Chains A and B, each alone.
Chain A
Amino acid sequence: MSEIRTEYYRDGARKAQQDPVLQSALAAAQSRIGGATAKAYMDFPEGPGLRLLGHDIRMKAIENLDILLETLVENIQKKGGHVHFAKDGREATEYCKEIALSRGVRRVVKGKSMVTEEIGLNSALMEEGIKVTETDLGEFIVQLAGEHPSHIIAPAVHKTRREIGKLFSEKLGIPYTTDPPTLTQAARKALREEFLSADMGISGCNLACAETGHITTVSNEGNIRMATTLPKIHVVFMGMERIVARLEDHDILLRLLATGAAAQKMAVYVSYIGGPRTPGQQDGPEEFHLIILDNGRSRILADEEFREILCCIRCAACLNVCPVYGKIGGHAYGHTYCGPIGAVLTPLLVGVNRAKDLCMGETLCGACQAACPVNIDIPRMLLSLRAKLADGDPQWSVTRSSLMEKAFYMAWAGMVRDRRMYELALRAVSGAQKLLPRREGWVHRLPPPFHGWSIHRDMKPVSGKSFIRRWSETHGRRGEGGNEPR
C-alpha cells in the first residue's frame, strides 16, 4: 500500500463502527487471540519477564545496527548471496524490477511481507506486466478482492466466510460454499499451480542473524517455504532494523514472536536462509538477493525519543488488545501499519501532521505495551508525537496542528494560575451554561468549538463555586489551608 490515506482516518473510523460484520469480526479476533497471548506469556518457563529480556536484546541490536548489518552482509556474500541497500521504496522496487526484467521473470509468488506493502512493490511489478500472486491465504483473499490487509498477521480478518465464498466462486470458478476447509483447499490448489510455475519468489525477513548470515522467515501455512524453495530466484525485502546479533538471541525472540502473534509456542515453519543453492544441493533457488531498506528508518533511529519503535518484531499483539483497533479495524489507519504500532510508526514514516489523527485517536490505556512481546513503550511515544503536534517541531517538520487549541490551553493555563481570574471564569461559565440545552439536569450539548465533547455524552454542569470556596463555607474560613481566596 504505497498509497497513503491517513487523512481519512475519521471517515474510515466512522464507517467501520457502523459496519456490524466488521464489529463482530474484530471482537471475535480480539477475544480469541488477545486473551490467549496474555495467558501464554505467563506460561514461559522464565515467566512473563522474558519480554523485558527480549526488549534488551532488540534495543542493543538497534543501537549497534551499523555493525550488525556489516556483519550480515559480509556473511551472506560469502555464501554467494547478493545484497542491495535501498534508501527508499523507489530504489528497492527498482532493484527488484531490474532483477525481474533482466531475467525475464513473468510470474512472481510472494510470502506475506509488510515491508513490500509499505513500498508498493506489487503494483510496481504489475506495471511491468509481471503477474504477482500473494500466497498467504489471508493476503490471497485480500488481493483477489482488490483490497488491502487490515491486520498485520491476519490480513483478511475483516472478511466473512460468506464474502470469501462469493469471492472464490467468482474468481476461482468453484461452486459457492461457506465451508472453510473447502475454501482453503480451493486456495491450496490454485496457489500450488502458482508456486510450481513462478520464476521468482519474494519474501520478507522476520529477524536476520548477523553472526551466521541468514535471514529468517516465519509462517504457519508453509507458503513462504514454497515461495523460497521452488522458483529459481529468491528476493528478500528486509527493513534494516530486522536483525539480531547472535544465533542464540533467537531462542528468546522466536518464542516471543510466536506467542505475541498467535499464542503459539513456535510458529509451524521457521527457515534460516543464507544464500542460493550450493553445489550438489538438489533444490532451492539459484539466485538469492537481499534488499535492505531504510525508507525513513534512519531518521527514526536518529531520534532517541522514537528509536525504541524499531524494536518491533511485527507480531500484531498490540492490535489484538487495542480498544481503538478493536472498534475501527485496520483500514481506517490508512497505511500499511495499523493499530498502536501503526499509530506511532506511520506518522514517523509518512509525516506527523499528515497522520496526526492516528496518534491522536489512541486512548493511551497502555494495553499495547502490556501485550507487546518486547515491551515497547508505545504510549510514551504516542504522547511524544502529540507534544510535537501541540508545539510544533522543526526537526520532524511538524507544524502545530491547531493554533486555536494552543491558544485555548495558554489562556487556560493563565486562568488556572490566577485565583481571581479562575473564580471569575467559573461564575461566567456557570451563568452562560444556563442557555445550553439540558437533559435530566446535565448539559446535553456544548457550543462550538467544544461541541465534540458532547456528541456521545452529557456533561455535568459547571458549579459556580470552586471547591475551595465551598470548603471554606462548610468548614469555616480559617481552615488548615492558607490558600483560600481573600
Chain B
Amino acid sequence: MNPGDNKEFIRKIRLALGYRSQGGRTFSGVFPDGRAEESVELIRRIKNRGPDERQWLLARLIEEAKALNMMVVPVKDAQSAAKQIAKVAQEKETEWGGPKRVIAWEHPLIERMKLNRELQKKGIPLDFTIPGPAGMGTDMVRERVIASYIGVTSAEFCVASSATLVMKTRPGQPRSVSLVPTIHMAVIEQDQIIADLRELYALLKWDPYHKEEGLTNCMTFITGPSKTGDIELILIHGAHGPKELYLYVITG
C-alpha cells in the first residue's frame, strides 16, 4: 500500500465531516491536555498519603478483590511474601503434568524476597527472566513460561476501586509470565495501591518516570483471574489465562 491511499482515506473522512482541509484544527488544539495541573496536584497528594488513608485503600482493595475471587494477602515484609508463595506452590498441583516449576520476573522487589531460597526448601526450581545475552532469550522465556505452573510478577500499581493490577512489559519483565502459567502471583508494596482510574491515568501521564517511559508497547490491566460465562452464563475461572490470582501486599 502506498502512502497516497492513506491520504485518500483521511481526505474522505474530512469531506464526510464537512472539512476541505484540517481547517485550522490540530490535535492539541481540539483536545487540550485539560488535566495537566490538577494531575500534578493529584500525584503530589498520592505521594503524601498518610498511613490511615493507605490502610483504607488496602481494605478497599481486599473487599473489591473478594468479589472477583482474587486473593489479596497483606504480608509484613518481602521474605514473608516468599514464604507464602512457597507454601501455595507446595499445595498446588501442576495443571498440564510434568514437574513443578516457577518462573519470576527480574524485578528488585522479587529479588529482595529471596524466593529462590524458599522454593528450594520445597524442591521447586525457579527461573528468573533475566534479560540480555547472558540471560533468557525469547525462545527460552517461551519454553519456561509454558513449563511453569506459577508465574511471579510485580506491578506498577494496583487500583483499589476495581482491584486492577497495572503492568508494563519491559526487558526482564515479559508479559507472558502473568498469562501462560496456571497461577499468577503478583507482589507489590502497599504504597503502590492507588484509589481509582483517575489517579492511575494521572500517574501514567504526568508522573515524571512514567511520562518519560510511556506506556511501553504493551501495558496490561489485570482484574481478577481469567473467567468466562459463555456456557449458559455460568461463571468459570481459568478460560485461557490463569485460574488463580494472588496478590501479596508488603505492608512494611
Q: A and B bound?
A: yes
Using CB atoms and an 8 Å cutoff, list the residues of chain A in contact with chain B.
25, 28-29, 32-33, 45, 60, 63-71, 73, 79, 83-85, 87, 95, 135-138, 141, 154-157, 160-161, 164, 180-181, 183-185, 187-188, 191-192, 195-196, 210-212, 214, 220-223, 225-226, 229-230, 240, 245-248, 250-251, 254-255, 262, 264-278, 280-284, 288, 292, 294, 298-299, 301-302
- Chain B residues with CB under 8 Å of A266's CB are 162, 164, 221, 223
Q: Is the CB of B16 within 8 A of A298?
A: yes
6 A–B pairs (Cβ distance < 8 Å), ordered by A: A28-B233, A67-B22, A222-B241, A251-B200, A266-B221, A282-B136
Q: What is the bound-complex CA distance between A155 and B180, given in angstroms?
A: 24
CA distance A266 to B225 in the complex (A): 12
| A181 touching B233 in the complex, CB below 8 Å, given contacts A220-B228, A268-B227 | no
Per-position 1/0 for B224-238, Cβ under 8 A of A: 111111111110101
Alpha-carbon separation in the docked complex, A435 to B96 (Å): 76
Tell whether, in the assembled complex, residue B5 and residue A85 are in contact, meaning their CB atoms are under 8 Å apart.
Answer: yes
Knowing A248-B35, A283-B138 touch, does A301 contact B13 (C-beta < 8 A)?
yes
Enumerate chain A residues within 8 angstroms of B232, measured Cβ to Cβ.
25, 28, 160-161, 180
B39 to chain A, nearest CB (A): 8
Give min CB distance, B186 to chain A, whole Å.
Answer: 14
In the complex, what's the smallest C-beta–C-beta distance from B185 to chain A, in angstroms? 16
Q: Which of B145, B176, B236 contacts A180 (CB 8 A)?
A: B236
B residues contacting A by CB (< 8 A) are 1, 5-6, 9-10, 12-17, 19, 22, 25-27, 30-31, 33, 35, 64, 96, 129, 131-132, 136-138, 141-142, 145-146, 161-162, 164, 169-172, 174-176, 179-180, 196-198, 200-202, 204-205, 214-234, 236, 238-242
Q: Does the CB pair B204–A69 fall under 8 Å? A: no
| Tally of A-B Cβ pairs under 8 angstroms | 247
Q: A222-B240, A229-B175, A271-B219 are in contact. Are A67 and B27 (CB under 8 A)?
A: yes
CA–CA, A302 and B9, complex, Å: 14
Which chain A residue lies CB-closest to B15? Answer: A302
Which 7 pairs from chain A and chain B are nearest by CB?
A: A222-B241, A221-B239, A280-B171, A302-B16, A138-B230, A85-B9, A245-B31
Interface pair B132/A280, CB less than 8 Å apart? yes
Contact of A71 with B10 at beta-carbon distance under 8 Å, contacts A184-B231, A225-B175, A299-B16 already known: no
The 8 Å CB contact of B201, one of A60, A229, A247, is A247
Q: Could you say which residues of chain B place their CB within 8 Å of the CB of A281?
A: 131, 169-171, 174, 217
B163 nearest CB across to chain A (Å):
8
B169 to chain A, nearest CB (A): 6
User: Knowing A161-B231, A184-B236 touch, does A282 contact B129 (C-beta < 8 A)?
Assistant: yes
Chain B residues, CB < 8 A from A273: 217-218
Whether the pair B197, A65 counts as a contact (CB closer than 8 A) is no
Kindly list chain B residues whose C-beta atoms are within 8 Å of the C-beta of A32: 233
Q: Are A272 and B12 in contact (CB under 8 A)?
A: no
**A270 lies within 8 A of B241 (CB):** no
Q: Across the interface, do B240 and A191 meet the contact criterion of CB distance under 8 Å?
A: yes
**Residues of chain B lying within 8 A (CB to CB) of residue A221:** 226-228, 239-241
Q: Is the CB of A156 within 8 A of B25?
A: no
Contacts of A195 in B (CB 8 A): 240
B231 touches A183 (CB 8 A): yes
- Structural contact, B179 and A226, CB atoms closer than 8 A: yes
State the CA gap A183–B229 with chains docked (Å): 12
Given A184-B228, A268-B227, A274-B215, A294-B12 contact (CB < 8 Å): yes
A270 contacts B201, C-beta separation under 8 Å: no
Once the chains are docked, how many angstroms separate the CA of A221 from the CA of B145? 18
- B10 to chain A: which residues have CB within 8 Å? 66, 69-70
Q: How far is the CA of A323 from the CA of B175 in the complex (A)?
A: 42
Q: If the complex has contacts A245-B31, A284-B169, are A268 and B223 also in contact, measured as CB distance less than 8 A? A: yes
Residues of chain A contacted by B221 (CB below 8 angstroms): 266, 269-271
A225 CB to closest chain B CB (Å) equals 5
Return chain B residues, CB-CB under 8 Å to A301: 13, 16-17
Taking a contact as CB atoms under 8 Å apart, the answer to whether A225 and B241 are in contact is: yes
Q: Are B6 and A220 in contact (CB under 8 A)?
A: no
**A64 and B6 within 8 A (CB):** no
Flag if B233 contacts A298 (CB, 8 Å): no
Smallest Cβ-Cβ distance to A72: which chain B residue: B27
Contact (Cβ within 8 A) B27 A277: no
CA distance A131 to B214 in the complex (A): 36
Residues on A with beta carbons closer than 8 Å to the beta carbon of B200:
251
Cβ B174 vs Cβ A135 within 8 A: no
Pick from A66, A180, A270, A277: contact of B13, CB below 8 A: A66
- Given pairs A87-B9, A154-B233, 19 additional interface contacts (CB within 8 A): A63-B17, A66-B14, A188-B238, A195-B240, A221-B227, A222-B241, A222-B242, A226-B180, A229-B179, A269-B226, A270-B220, A271-B219, A277-B138, A283-B142, A283-B169, A283-B174, A298-B16, A301-B17, A302-B17
Contact yes or no, A298 B12, CB < 8 A = yes
Residue among A33, A229, A254, A267 with max Cβ neighbours from chain B (10 Å): A229
**Cα–Cα, bound, A301→B14 (Å):** 10
Q: Known contacts A95-B1, A184-B228, A302-B16; decide if A137 and B239 are in contact (CB<8 Å).
A: yes
A180 contacts B217, C-beta separation under 8 Å: no
Complex Cα gap A196–B145 (Å): 11
A253–B32 alpha-carbon span in the complex (Å): 18
Residues from chain B with Cβ under 8 Å of A229 in the complex: 175-176, 179, 218
Q: With A67-B22, A214-B215, A229-B176 as given contacts, are A141 and B230 in contact (CB-CB < 8 Å)?
A: yes
A85 and B1 in contact, given A220-B239, A298-B13 (Cβ under 8 angstroms): yes
